[in-house]
Each structure stands twice: as structure tokens, then as C-alpha cells.
Amino acid sequence: MRGIPHILREPKYTVRGYGPEDFRDQESITGMANHIDTAIWKVTDGLLTEAQDVLENEILERTDGCFNRGVADDDDSITTCEGQAEVYPLVLETIELLESLVK
């Protein structure tokens, strides 16, 4: 379990490295970092499925517009495709790792 929280820090640091112009608003910046923290805490507590749910529903869905449609969606927190292109694959990789551990 120790490696997963470390893996989750990469998207968090990536998100924190963006400027306000990359996000819908200030709440989006704080919210994404807080959701990643929540996922880290859940993994640390052994709640892998719950961590996966947070990543899927609170992060992945808010960074998927460019991946799915070529432009940011109205509900995306990160509004630039460059930003989404960095965060989305990191979160997707972590979700896949969690899925493999839950099976």
C-alpha cells in the first residue's frame, strides 16, 4: 500500500503546479487537491475501493472532456487540454492499479 499513496502525490503536485488560468475557478484547484488527499487517506486506511470511487467520481470525471471529446467539458475543473493531458492519465493509471489490487 505504501507505493500507491506515493503515486497519488504525482497528480496532486501536478495540479498544484498549474496556474489559475488552467482551472474553472479557485474552488476547483483546492477541490482537486483535497479529493486527491482523500484518496491518499483512504488507501492508507486500506479502503481501496473507496479511494477508487473518489478518483473516478471526483477527479477523472472532472478531467475527461479533452480525452473524450477534444475540448474541456462544462463540468471539468481543469479547463485546458494541456492540463488534462497530464492529470487524466496519471489518475487513470492509479485507478487501474487499485482495480488490480481489489480483485
Residue 17 has pLDDT above 70, yes or no: yes
CATH of 3-102, one of 1.10.287, 1.10.540, 1.20.1440, 1.10.3470: 1.20.1440
Model pLDDT for residues 52-100, shown as the tens digit of each residue: 999 999 999 999 999 999 999 999 999 999 999 988 998 998 899 889 8
Model pLDDT for residues 20-49, shown as the tens digit of each residue: 888 988 888 888 889 989 998 998 898 999
Pull the grid cell for residue 35: 479529493
Of 6, 5, 7, the closest CA to residue 93 belongs to: 7
Bridge partners of 78? 23
Band of residue 11 on the pLDDT scale cut at 50, 70, 90: confident
pTM (predicted TM-score) = 0.84
